[in-house]
Amino acid sequence: MLESAFRQVPELKLVITSTWRLHSPLEQLQQRFSADVAARIAGATPKYCDLNDVSTDAGWLRAGSRVSCMSPDA
């Protein structure tokens, strides 16, 4: 159902904010989704302790970007 909603907005990019990102590489997280939705995943939020500079470390977080966050464990 969630993937179906994502498909309604073709330009939508996704960022994984789930705690799963702390223990699994992005490629493994993408495997949890259908191939077309996985291809739209722009990245995952970093661990707070690994974040040095939001302006450079969070490239997906740009002014004017249309990025939605999702959490599969929400």
Provide the pLDDT confidence category of residue 74 given band limits of 50, 70 and 90: very low
State the sign of the Cα–Cα–Cα–Cα dihedral 22, 25, 28, 32.
positive
- pLDDT tens for 30-46 read 999 999 999 999 998 87
Domain segments of the chain: what residues?
2-70
Cα–Cα separations (whole angstroms), residue 60 to 4, 52, 70: 23, 15, 14
- Tokens standing for 49? 């302790």
36 or 54, greater pLDDT: 36
Kind plus residue range of the DSSP H or E element containing 41: strand 41-44
Provide the pLDDT confidence category of residue 25 given band limits of 50, 70 and 90: very high
φ, ψ for residue 25 (rounded to 5)?
-70, 155
Question: Among residues 57, 35, 53, 55, which one has the least CA distance to residue 44?
Answer: 57
pLDDT score recorded for residue 39 = 95
